[in-house]
Structure 1
Amino acid sequence: MDTSDRLILGELANRCRISFSKIAEKYEVSLNTIKNRIEALVEMGVISNFVVELPLEKLNASFAIIILDIKTDTSKDQLISLGRNSFIMALGLGYELQGFAIVVYRTNAELVEAIDFLQSSNLVTQARAMPLIAPPSTVDTTSIKGIDTLKKIDWKILKSLQWNGRKPLGEIASDVGVSVPTVRKRLAYMRKHNLIHETIQVNPAASEHDLVVMLLVRSPAAAHEYYKLDGRFREQWPENYWIFYRSANNMELMVTFVVESSKKVASLRSEMTKVLEDSEIINQVIVPEWLFFPDFRDEMIDTHVE
């Protein structure tokens, strides 16, 4: 991937159903250029799926990263078996016998259930939970409309989009049994009131030349400069920085980078301690692949459609 690919991924992550022509216009390139790049990202597996999902904040839900110590010789197929839990959204098998799970949950009991499920596996020797707070710019709770305002037709539209968030309006209308204008109107309603989250499932490490590096950093800046960090990281590492999250429990950050080789990791670690004064890197996970799974939100959609 290059900088242009990352910019395109950013646009799709904010709204996966955005028209390709709008992206082309914004970056002053041809429509075919955008189409070809996105098709290549899908073919490589960098874009795993286009997703229209229920926003966690509308469900009073949160998410956490679980750092896993994994037994020797754990295979990808074995790791997939851990995705059976309805609160586990994604898994990654890292180098050095480490991996991670992304857990979405509404209550502490659900988080504990997911952790217990992972620890009960004969694949995981230790699991450390890090409940996370998303960067401020990604959270929007301005609308007072709740999930309870969704109509039966809305749930059917969400069901139609479950495995292809960019499905054309005509196909959605055919699935649901209504007109295209009706689908367009209901999607506009859900979008206006932040009742859907249009994004992509991204696996940057699927590129032949990229790895995902997750650095767990302890720093006073996690509390005092939280709102400034995203911009600072983007300025410092425009080619490599991806996203960061803050721990909900203490002064820790999970900062994610996309790098071309493991050699870059050492320089990132050194630079991080200079960018954030009095910081300490307490863990790292280098992830060659991410795996995504249905979670409890998919079950909610299925329940409302039945």
Structure 2
Amino acid sequence: MTAIATEPAKTNMSTVELAGVSHWYGNVVAVNDVTLTIGPGVTGLLGPNGAGKTTVLHMMAGFLPPSQGTVTVNGRPSWRNPDVYKDLGLVTERESVPGFLTAWEFVLASAKLHGLPDPAAAAAKAIGIVEMNDAKDRRISTYSKGMRQRTRVAAALVHDPAVLLLDEPFNGMDPRQRLHMMDLLHGMASQGRTILFSSHILEEVEQLSGTVQVIVAGRLAASGDYRHIRRLMTNRPHVFMIQSSDNRKLGAVLMELDSVSGVELEPTGLQVRANDYGTFTRALSKVARDKDIRLTAVMPSDESLENVFSYLVAS
């Protein structure tokens, strides 16, 4: 499978890079020759179950060695390099929070492990960021799943990392908590931090980030802005919904274009299938002008992340 990339790799101080990385468990290849760079901003890591997402995250975090290739965080190898955690925050998918501790004790312990000069101040700030002040002195065993998740995020943020790796970070959060966490991640990204998160809920990824890395069967299938990725998929017709001052007349004219493979007149307008995105969109405006037809809406209708993901997985 040839990966679809929409932009060159960024070279920034706050980066995670994989170069020709593979990892295998015995005879099973989990990740196969992946090369990618994650730079500042929010990036979604997508893939079907068993595609290799968690293995990729674990190699980035230094939990697993690459069987082949190199994995670096801010230019330093992640494997057998504890110093990498000075710049790295991690929230794993699997919970491992001691229930007998309070949120304050757990986050404070994380601050002390990082050797921060004022661990109490850092812990207080992180707990406030995730809105856990009201419950910080209760035992974690009494928390809901969403509260435990926010506590784990606070522990990952306590040392103000430049790189944040999140595996299913929204698990158990209610809608308000999810919106708050999205705002928090957007704010951190706007400050130049590098944030990579995986999620099985495509709507979350679509709301949080337009940039994705898609892993399919252990290989990098696509990289970049998912809308641009869709436009590079020349093997699938692009579907548009068009509204105009004369839909019947426009439909008849569009059927004559080489870039159009189908036109359907619907109550809401014209559904047009185009073989080439760029050629069609340029021709559409010219045809409408020549035929004195006013275009009121032109909307790609299959550029959602869900469509792009399903196309990549099926290819």
TM-score by length of 2: 0.22
Structure with the bigger RCO (C-alpha within 8 Å, sep 6+) is 1
TM-score by length of 1: 0.23
Larger CA Rg, structure 1 vs 2: 2
Whose helix proportion is higher, 1 or 2? 1
